[in-house]
Amino acid sequence: MPDSHIAVGKSLQRIDGVDKVTGSAKYAADIKLVNMLHAKLLRSPHAHAKVIRIDTSAAQKLPGVRAFATIFEAPKVIEYWFSLRTEKKKKQMFLRDNVVRFIGDPVLAVAADDQQTLDKALSLVKVEYESLPALQDPFKAMEETDVKIHSRGNIAFKVKKAYGDIHKGFKNADIIIENRYRTSKQKHAALEPFGTCVAHYQSNGKLTVYSSTQLPHWSRHYLAGALELPLNKVRVIKPHTGGSFGGRCGLIHGLEVMCSWLSRRTGRPVRMSFTREEDFIATETRHPMTIRMKTGATRDGILTGNEVKIVSDVGGYGTHYIGVIADCLSTGVGLYKIPNYSFSATAVFTNKSPGGALRGYGNPQMNFAQESQMDIMAEKLGIDPLELRLKNYRRLGEIDPVLNEEIRSNGLKECLEKGAASSGWEKKRRQKPIKGTMKRGIGLSIMLHGTGAGKALPDPAAATVMINADGSVNLVTAAADEGQGNRTVLAQIASETLGIEFDKISVSETDTETTPLDCGTHGSRQAYCGGLAVRAAATEAREKLLAYAKKELGVIEDQLRIKEGAIFEAKNPDNKILIISGRVIHSDAP
């Protein structure tokens, strides 16, 4: 490793900055292929209905209408990467039926020459629906047995976990509080709407899809499954993305599958682009939750027990409902050391737009409930809310019961103390309330969030580092940059590890055809997981290069440096070798 940092810790310009400020960075809707058709979805006006018949005969006669695809043929992807583990589970990912489950649920897709024709065509399609009772309230849906949103019923998932003995926990409590918290159905509202897809199914049977996805390789798997194609015939390219915040973890409901289906049917590239309105009504949202929490503590502020009951509103389809609840559990049990814990959660289908992943996953809901509960407890006990956290957080050396691993680093106490000091916590908490209608307050909250999915899901990271003959580098990674700059970060890590200047590192496009299998971008994982992969690849590349140089220069590896296309001896820079020629050069040589 070099003596001083060359990239990490330095303020560097992001590698895609110039492309973005000049308008040359291409996002999905900017991609135009020759002979491209446009596509649009006809969406259900009913919250819950059977689609009895679809009549496209009038629409088909319109000049410029090229193809249709209906939900009778093109499957919906209804489970996500949990299901990639086994072939049996993979088959459960796809649903072909005649039911629409929320207002806006796609019924069919049409491909036509231009936008006007699309609108006219959709207005001529006749759909016969049999309206079914719609369930909006997850509590009612849970109990309902006659109206089933999915064939297996309305309960998507149910789990109970217990640690210690909750009854003992409450018996040992001097004070018990019980509250109910409710969170809302939030939308990501990324500046680039969810979503746009350009699909091109070529005559050789190869499908190429341009779509902004956080998980390009998994999108490839889902598309291969949905269209029943082998993986080598599916290529997913992620163009620049205008923000995702969790909403592009795979495919967008009704977008890529329908678009690909139409391309296969017509043999032409097809672009489907959702409006902002479609984004809002028909793509994934945060899971709204009702969380009942009953917490016991001693008079001194030591938590003795916590009973958590969650009802999570999945919507008409769910892809993340298990992971989101797992997140609630891990944040509850991991963050605070509560010896007696009872956790139960039910994820329920309702006739609303699908719940999915949104920044924080299940943590914001759980944290809202948990931290509000802590504040209420602190108030009842007459203890400083900061002190209450410090008394109960799970410390270094403890075993996290969900991960079943020891906590090896934990800067929470230091963080809290620094935060309290710099915000004037003590003084402000002691201040008497100001008179008048405008009040000021100060509060705090702590949280725990996982980086990546750990053992819970397939979550691989991989990278390839190629050192070119002139000493410049190509870094190949499937890290999906949604704007957060992970491709820049990975270039920094490669630069630092290799000892080669940052501006000599180029990062590949995000293309499943050429990048090694990497889960992608979710749960803040790229800097850590992707970074470890890049560091490993860069280390190996550097070692190979230096092993060769060592022979030529007669100097051991840790005495060698790489800079400006040359490998040289640190103590004697004239003793060097050019990467391009592999020849030893001396200062007085021509």
Partner 1 sequence: MGVYFQVEEYHRPQDLAQAVDILSRFGNRAKVIAGGTDILPLRPGVKKLDTIHHLVDISKLGLNFVKKENDHICIGAATDINTISASPLFLSGPYGALSDAAGAHSTATIRNRATVGGNLCNASSCADLALPLLVMDAMLVAAGPKGARHIPIESFFKGANFSALNKEEVLLEILIHSCSEKTGTSFLKLRRHQTAIDMAVVNVATSLSCKKNRCEAAGIALGAVAPIPFRAKKAESVLVGANLSKEVIRKASAMAAEEAKPIDDVRATAAYRKKMVAVLVRRSLENSMRRCGQ
Partner 2 sequence: MKKVDIKIHVNGDWYELAVDPGDRLIDVLRDQLDLTGTKEGCGEGECGACTVNLDGQAVLSCLILAAQADGCKILTIEGLQRGPELHPMQKAFVSESALQCGYCTPGMIMAAVALINNEPEPDENTIRKNLSNNLCRCSGYDRPVKAVLKAANDMKEDINA
Per-residue contact track with partner 2, 8 to 27, x per CB under 8 A? -----xx-xxxxxxxxxxxx
Nearest approach, Cβ of residue 42 and partner 1 (Å): 7
Q: Are strands 207-211 and 196-201 parallel, antiparallel or unpaired?
A: antiparallel
> Which of 243/516 has CB closer to partner 2?
243
Cβ closest to partner 2, residue 14 vs residue 429: 14
Q: 440 vs 98, 122, 433, CA distance in Å?
A: 55, 54, 8
Per partner kind, with CB cut-offs from 5 to 8 A, the member of partner 1, partner 2, none near residue 501 is none
Integer Cα distance of 98 and 396 in angstroms:
53
Query: What is the DSSP annotation of 290-324?
Result: EEEEEEEE-TTS-EEEEEEEEEEEEES-BSSHHHH
30 binds partner 2 (CB under 8 A): yes
- Residue 30 contact partner, candidates partner 2, partner 1, none, CB within 5 to 8 A by sort of partner: partner 2
Interactions with partner 2, residue window 251-280 (CB under 8 A): 275-276
Of 179, 228, 569, the C-alpha closest to 368 is: 179
Under the binding rule (CB under 8 A), the answer on residue 40 touching partner 1 is yes
Stretch that binds partner 1, among 94-102, 112-120, 406-414, 474-482 (CB under 8 A): 112-120
The residue to which tokens 């040589």 are assigned: 589
**Type of residue found at 465:** V
Q: According to the binding rule CB under 8 A, does residue 482 interact with partner 2?
A: yes
Q: Using CB under 8 A, which of 70, 273, 373, 575 touches partner 1?
A: 273
> Which H or E element spans position 559?
none
Give yes or no for residue 131 binding partner 1 (CB under 8 A).
Answer: no
| Longest alpha-carbon distance in the chain | 90
Q: Which does 118 bind (CB under 5 to 8 A by kind): partner 1, partner 2, none?
A: partner 1
For partner 1, which is the closer residue by CB, 253 or 542?
A: 253
Closest distance to partner 1 from the beta carbon of 255 (Å) = 12
Q: In the chain, what is the straight-line distance between the N-terminal and C-terminal CA atoms, in Å?
A: 30
Per CB under 8 A, 118 contacts partner 1? yes
Per-residue CA distances from 376 to 175, 182, 346, 440 (Å): 12, 16, 25, 18
389 binds, among partner 2, partner 1, none (CB under 5 to 8 A by kind): none
Residue 454 partner contact from partner 2, partner 1, none using kind-dependent CB cut-offs of 5 to 8 Å: none
C-alpha closest to that of 294 among 341, 350, 261, 330 = 341
Binding residue for partner 1 (CB under 8 A) from 275, 423, 572, 581? 275
Q: Cβ neighbours of residue 4 under 8 Å, at least 6 residues apart?
A: none
Is residue 352 classed as helix, strand or coil in its secondary structure?
coil
- Indicate whether 192 belongs to the interface with partner 2 (CB under 8 A): yes
Residue 241 found at the interface with partner 2 (CB under 8 A): yes
C-alpha R_g of the chain: 28
Burial 34-46 (b: 16+ CB within 10 A, else e): eebbbbbbbbbeb
> For partner 1, which residue of 123, 184, 423, 581 counts as binding (CB under 8 A)?
123
The one of partner 2, partner 1, none whose footprint includes residue 123, by CB under 5 to 8 A per kind, is: partner 1
Give contact residues for partner 1 (rule: CB under 8 A): 29, 38, 40, 42, 45, 115-116, 118-120, 122-123, 193, 196, 272-276
Give contact residues for partner 2 (rule: CB under 8 A): 13-14, 16-27, 29-30, 32, 116, 188-193, 240-243, 245, 275-276, 482-485
